[in-house]
Structure 1
Amino acid sequence: MTDPEKLGIVMTSFAGQFRSEVSRLAKREVKSEVQTLKSASAQHRADIAALKRRVAALESQLKKLSKAGANQTVPDEQPAGEKTLRFRMDGFISLRKKLGLTAAQMGSLIGVSAQSVYHWEAGKSKPRASQLPAIATLRKMRRAQIVKMLEVEALSHSMR
């Protein structure tokens, strides 16, 4: 036989073939990962551009509204004859103590549960706007009137 080098055929070693195959596979994997990152990056850029357009539109709208608001006069929030009802936790506690009522009695007069009264007094919640007139009415009443109301309510419950 003849020597392969003499024929001009260069035989590669196993290590050389292995190295080239690993390099080819690594390039293929890197290419797929880079393609995924490129598409994600393009999507993020598109999202950012859309958000910037939205912010610009909202800022423009805000600017128009602030100009329109500056030109208008501020109307009164409440009509002249109507009073704003407020709720103060301390005032509510002192009212109940002054009247000598339990939380259940106070709740039945207002139309809520005793638990609601406890939550109002603890500051965990506040009464609804629809309940404020009932509280204001109780503030204007005397103890004797309230006792009569409770008696009438007790009688109506016992008849049921």
Structure 2
Amino acid sequence: MANTAALTKEQIARISRKESRKIIEPMKAQLVLLRKTVATLKNERAQFRREVATVSKGTVRSATPQLRSEVDVAEAGTTTRRYRFTAASFRKLRERLELTRPEMATLLGSSKQAVYMWETEGSQPREVFVAKIAIVKGLTKQSARQLLEAHPDGQP
């Protein structure tokens, strides 16, 4: 009798494993397909983000209103947004806009020496100038030239 009970128990276990495999195998295949779909969607999302970043960098912004409003906020000491400043990116910005150091100084309202020191990591700009640099990052070569032409005497 013990053998019959053991054999019956083994048969029930074998049949239950077989039946559960029939149910689980299609689910595994669906899971693989869903994971591939999720990976594809993540890649598409990353691609869209890159495209949005590229498009937003290429947009032309109105320079004059931004310069006045954001700089006034910065001078009032109520800036809440922090901008990252590095000497290399500052120099690349100046070169991208095709400006000389004196022209960049005029645009920012600082001295030529300060621009030189910021580019060579001799010093860090104050928060007011970091905010102004962030605004200048949004300018095109043409809009930067227009702002400089608006102040021919070298005063910002």
Q: TM-score scaled by structure 2? A: 0.46
Query: RCO (CA 8 Å, sep 6+): is it higher in 1 or 2?
Result: 2
Q: TM-score scaled by structure 1? A: 0.45
Indicate the structure (1 or 2) with the bigger Cα radius of gyration: 1
